[in-house]
Amino acid sequence: MPNGPQKLILIRAGRYEYAEVEVSGTLQIVGPNNTGKTTLINTLQFLYLDDQRQMDFGHSLDETKTYYFPDQYSYVLFECLGARGKFVLGWRGQSRASGGDPERFVFEGPFDSTDFIQEDQGVREPKDVSARLSVKHYTSIKNNSEHRELLLQATRGDSKGTGIVALRD
């Protein structure tokens, strides 16, 4: 199985309350207009582009953030297979009061919906999610260069590179 994204998970993001899509093989997205097909495809930018200013959703960056991350219970998650095994790269919205950019983070291991969703199907509080993920080496991604380094092949002993993107030249 090649390195790269295996699953795309949206929680209260875009048009989705909850969506979990296998993306490790061939995928066909078919449906009527305005059902979220483009929303799913566009989310790949959150995985592969480290700089939000380079993302293009056909709307302003502020409109895009409001659409995908209306509050702190909104997540865009990518379960990936990398050089050191499975990991999840995620984005979490912020509360309207904080008004900040979505938070980027990474943790080791496969996606488990119970880390994010309660038994009553509500989304867990962000502090509870972070606490549950701490045992999986949850790490906040602080800037674009950390995001980029995470995607590339490790070149130094202390690098966190996963090798899901290979640079040829």
What is the predicted pLDDT for the residue at 169?
A: 41
What is the predicted pLDDT for the residue at 159?
A: 58
What is the predicted pLDDT for the residue at 73?
A: 97
Q: Which residues of the chain have pLDDT under 50?
A: 169
What is the predicted pLDDT for the residue at 143?
A: 92
What is the predicted pLDDT for the residue at 37?
A: 81
What is the predicted pLDDT for the residue at 4?
A: 86
What is the predicted pLDDT for the residue at 166?
A: 63
Tens digit of pLDDT for each residue in 136-147? 999 999 998 888
Is pTM, for the whole model, over 0.95? no
Q: Which tokens in the block code for residue 135?
A: 């045992």
Edge-to-edge strands, sheet with 103-108: 16-22, 4-13, 75-82, 85-92, 103-108, 139-141
Helices vs strands, H then E, count in the chain = 5, 6
- Work out the number of other CB atoms within 10 angstroms of the CB of residue 43: 23
Cα separation, 71 vs 18, whole angstroms: 15
